[in-house]
Structure 1
Amino acid sequence: MGTVSDFPWLTVLWVVPLVGAALALLFPAGWRTGVRGFALLVSLGTLGVGIWLATQFETGGAQYQFVENREWIPAFGAGYTLGLDGIALVLVLLTAGLVPLLLIAGWQDEREVGSGPRVAHYYVALTLVVESMVLISFTALDILLFYVFFEVMLIPMYFLIGGFGPKTGDLAARQQRSRAAVKFLLYNLFGGLIMLAAVIGLYVITARDKLGSGGGGTFDFRAVMEAANSGHLGATPAVLNALFLGFMFAFAVKAPLWPLHTWLPDAAVAATPASAVLMMAVVDKVGTFGMLRYCLLLFPSATSTYAPLISVLAVIGIIYGALLAIGQTDVMRLIAYTSISHFGFIILGIFALTTQGGTGATLYMVNHGISTAALFLIAGFLVSRRGSRLIAEFGGVQKVAPILAGTFLVSGLATLSLPGLAPFVSEFLVLIGTFTRYPVAAIFAASALVLAALYVLWMYQRMMTGPVKEGNERLYDLLPREMVVVAPLIVALLFLGAYPKPVLDRIDPAVAKTLTTIGQHDPAPAVQPDAAPTNTGGVHK
């Protein structure tokens, strides 16, 4: 597909859900079913475009394919430039694949949305807008373009968290939801402002170096990347370190990385299960994607300088998230804390600066999205039946809802990276890639495997096994609509656990190119293999 696409497929990819969101608002009031069905068709159309891109993507071709390059703000050297590499491709497919399932998951659950005749219109429109903003963020090859949509996606996500949630007359619960939404927005806006300062600083450097086509500055990611990695970016190491930290801070808030994580559990519990999955499995991936693309490729020297520190923070996040998950009494909050631990693994793999670590981190982004979606949505179905999130109020669910309990177990086992399920492959690659560079960090990170087994299996034992507790005898099993949501996620976990090659074939070249570009090579083995034995007539001495 080369460097330039004849048809603007990437524009179509993100414009379809955006236009769909606008049209959804035009549906007459009260047409809940109609507008939800329309939004589902729009999301399936977006998925179709993503699948077509995947089939046309050349694994051995140019690093960035389907490239579109048009003028946007010529005075600032900013262009409307889009392109797709293997890393972005798998995240595009994750996003486009999850959104239809999330729309189906919330189809008839009236207790999980606000009130009013047009509530469904607003809900599906905001979901499609978030999808659109995420897709253009994954495909943007202009730094300013990326920044704009990196920030804009916060607005619809804020309304999804604060405006929709469990329908209750409890004033305290509504206030808690509002606080969680504001906390989410303030944290991420502050991170974005720090990043804006870094974006401006980077532009000033490119203007001074006359990297733009007209002899001025530029926001073209590829031009800045080439200058940074060829040593032609005229800035002192101290300045480049500061710019790196500006970008990294924003991505660390979004991902999130300990200790900038505190907004995530509150937001995940306050939102509807579908919106929480959209945030944790899709939106937050923009943060880890930004680390892999922008931090590494624009600031290779600063990356090497700060990689050990970031790896330490990632390990703390891995263990911290797992320990707090063990102590939770709220099932939804427990799952939210597991995501903090998993994001620690992703960030650890990125900053191990090895091919195994980077490949594992990228695959982990995909697998975490699938496993978290499955576990959180199934828990959401169960909570909506029982009317409570407290683990202590469940018990014996497997006797009254065996399919729900079974799929919950499979999703939980995927979360603890059981061999045979998708997250195992990615977590194994991250640990192997980290061990070759930071063996102590890898050993501490591996301890989280034991902690994960503890919080998952203990949660399952308390909720699903034993006698049926009072109030649970009327719980019912997964409905056909819910099975439509859960089944593809379980199949994906099993398939990618047994055969991850189709995804790895697209990730590997992009990760290898990234590390080669920044001059990073896998560490040599500590122990060299013995020399080949000398032929001594069949006798080895």
Structure 2
Amino acid sequence: FLVLEMAMLGLFASLDLIIFFIFWEFGLVPMYFLIRLWGGADREYASFKFMIYTMAGSLGLLLSIQVMGLATGTFDIIQLMDKWVHMEGTHLAGTGLSIELVKNVAFWAFVIAFAIKVPVWPFHTWLPDAHTQAPTAGSMILAGVLLKLGAYGFIRLVIPLFPEQANLTAGILATFGMLSVVLGGFAAFGQWDFKRLVAYSSINHMGFVVMGIAVMAYAYGRAGSFADPGVAQDAIMATNGAVFQMFNHGLSAAGMFFLVGVIYDRAHTRDLKEFGGIWTILPVYGTILIFTSMASLGLPGLNGFVSEFLVVRGSWEIFAPQLAMAMLGLLMTGAYILKAIGQTLHGQVNPRWVKLPDMTLREHLVIWPLMVLMLSLGIWPQWLLVFINDTVTKLFG
């Protein structure tokens, strides 16, 4: 876990593309072994699939980074924002390839690598298997931080380094974000494995992050966009919402995976059909599960509502059709959350669980800091949004 955290912190602090890529790849190794050594019955398949998916995206990413370094003579991200974006000439020196072609290919290589990590539909199929087989702590780290590396890559690298291409494809990105919201919601509703349901919910929630990033892509690469105050305001609001949603999803998803682990440690099953009436047996667990589920749902007063509202408000004028379709995904979010709560906590009590013990002090110490943040960010989000907004505004220049 410490090696994994080191890799993630190193990636977020990197201002050099090679160092960024090293930490990007370095984070795969501990996560692979967490799943492979301490995962469930199908851990070999899940860990292999996780590694192959991510490595496949990383291959194009590495080649593109090398080409960018060859073309500009630097891997410094800040310098590349000027040299790479404003590169003069028609052909890349020493290759005979047109600069426009190289930029387009590199852009899609970056997009695919980060889309796999988010994950964006249809690059999502590794995630449910990885989550289902990973140990509880591994799922918490995977949902809480690792998925955000892909979204961070879009915001930090893809849009600033490829503003023109990002602008032209912003509608496509918004559409895939919408599909992630809708199809992730439908897929989650169809699950009977509690952990797999929460895994698909991550695809649903991260779809809103992608839609917010799409608004940023549209405005960042659009000539004169900030001469229009409306576009500027929408772009900053949607990007704030995307970053805030990344943080909020990390809290609620980590909490949900932890609570799935709590009940699995006692019942040794995650089949929702096997539960029923758990609230009468584990009243504290039931209350905490409802609270965390409502935060994941986006109930006003809890953290999930604020970030999704910012994305919706910022996207409405620019991507109204995609956003309207995404509302169907919100409906399915409510459906799968209520399904999970109903199957687990309500209904007839299963006699097998009447002697299950409620949550221990150790488990309370894990979940309560997350719950405090969920509530505080729902009631007063400004204490965090002020830092996010300052950074986003600077990113737009």
Could you state the TM-score of these two structures normalised by the residue count of structure 2? 0.91
1:480 aligns to what? Answer: 361
Residues in 2 aligned to 1:271 and 1:419: alpha-carbon distance in whole angstroms: 31
Residues in 2 aligned to 1:467 and 1:323: alpha-carbon distance in whole angstroms: 26
1:299 aligns to what? Answer: 162
Amino acid at match of 2:362: R
Where 2:375 maps in the other structure, the secondary structure is helix
Instruction: Within 5 Å, give how 1:43-442 maps onto structure 2.
Output: 127-166=1-40, 173=41, 176-206=42-72, 217-229=73-85, 231-232=86-87, 236-353=99-216, 354-442=235-323
Where 1:471 maps in the other structure, the secondary structure is helix
Compare CA radii of gyration and give the structure with the larger one.
Answer: 1
Amino acid at match of 1:337: Y
Q: Which residues of structure 2 form unaligned runs of 5+?
A: 91-98, 217-234
1:451 aligns with 2:307: no
> 1:203 Cα deviation (Å)?
1.1
> 1:238 Cα deviation (Å)?
2.9
> 1:228 Cα deviation (Å)?
4.2
Amino acid at match of 2:22: V
Residues in 2 aligned to 1:466 and 1:190: alpha-carbon distance in whole angstroms: 45
Amino acid at match of 1:199: I
> After the TM superposition, which of the residue ranges 197-206 and 319-328 deviates more from structure 2?
197-206
Residue 205 of structure 1 contacts residue 234 of structure 1 at CA under 8 Å; is this kept in 2?
Answer: no
Residues in 1 aligned to 2:89 and 2:359: alpha-carbon distance in whole angstroms: 60
> 1:163 Cα deviation (Å)?
0.6
TM-superposition CA deviations, 1:355-410 (whole Å, max 9, x none): 11110000001000000011110111011100101000011110011110111111
1:98 aligns to what? Answer: none
Task: Describe the shift of the 1:370–1:286 C-alpha distance in structure 2 as closer, same or farther (beyond 3 A).
Answer: same
Provide the alpha-carbon RMSD of the alignment. 1.2
TM-superposition CA deviations, 1:269-319 (whole Å, max 9, x none): 101011011112111111110000000111111110111111111111110
Amino acid at match of 1:505: V
Residues in 2 aligned to 1:462 and 1:233: alpha-carbon distance in whole angstroms: 61
Residues in 2 aligned to 1:390 and 1:360: alpha-carbon distance in whole angstroms: 34
Where 1:284 maps in the other structure, the secondary structure is helix
TM-superposition CA deviations, 1:166-216 (whole Å, max 9, x none): 5xxxxxx2xx2101000000000111111011111111210xxxxxxxxxx
Residues in 2 aligned to 1:160 and 1:283: alpha-carbon distance in whole angstroms: 13
Could you state the TM-score of these two structures normalised by the residue count of structure 1? 0.67
1:65 aligns to what? Answer: none
Residue 183 of structure 2 contacts residue 329 of structure 2 at CA under 8 Å; is this kept in 1?
Answer: no
Q: Which residues of structure 1 form unaligned runs of 5+?
A: 1-126, 167-172, 207-216, 517-541
Of all paired residues, the percent bearing the same amino acid is: 36
Residues in 1 aligned to 2:89 and 2:106: alpha-carbon distance in whole angstroms: 13
Residues in 2 aligned to 1:470 and 1:388: alpha-carbon distance in whole angstroms: 15
Residues in 2 aligned to 1:466 and 1:275: alpha-carbon distance in whole angstroms: 31
2:93 aligns to what? Answer: none
Amino acid at match of 1:502: W
Paired residues, number: 371
> 1:233 Cα deviation (Å)?
5.7
Task: Describe the shift of the 1:196–1:234 C-alpha distance in structure 2 as closer, same or farther (beyond 3 A).
Answer: farther
Residue 391 of structure 1 contacts residue 463 of structure 1 at CA under 8 Å; is this kept in 2?
Answer: yes
Residues in 1 aligned to 2:379 and 2:329: alpha-carbon distance in whole angstroms: 23
Residue 228 of structure 1 contacts residue 300 of structure 1 at CA under 8 Å; is this kept in 2?
Answer: no
Residues in 2 aligned to 1:257 and 1:475: alpha-carbon distance in whole angstroms: 38
Residues in 1 aligned to 2:76 and 2:188: alpha-carbon distance in whole angstroms: 42
1:463 aligns to what? Answer: 344
> 1:444 Cα deviation (Å)?
1.2
1:504 aligns with 2:367: no
Report which of the two has the higher share of helix: 2
Residue 140 of structure 2 contacts residue 255 of structure 2 at CA under 8 Å; is this kept in 1?
Answer: no
Residue 205 of structure 1 contacts residue 233 of structure 1 at CA under 8 Å; is this kept in 2?
Answer: no
Residue 303 of structure 2 contacts residue 376 of structure 2 at CA under 8 Å; is this kept in 1?
Answer: yes
Where 2:169 maps in the other structure, the secondary structure is helix
Residue 177 of structure 1 contacts residue 270 of structure 1 at CA under 8 Å; is this kept in 2?
Answer: yes
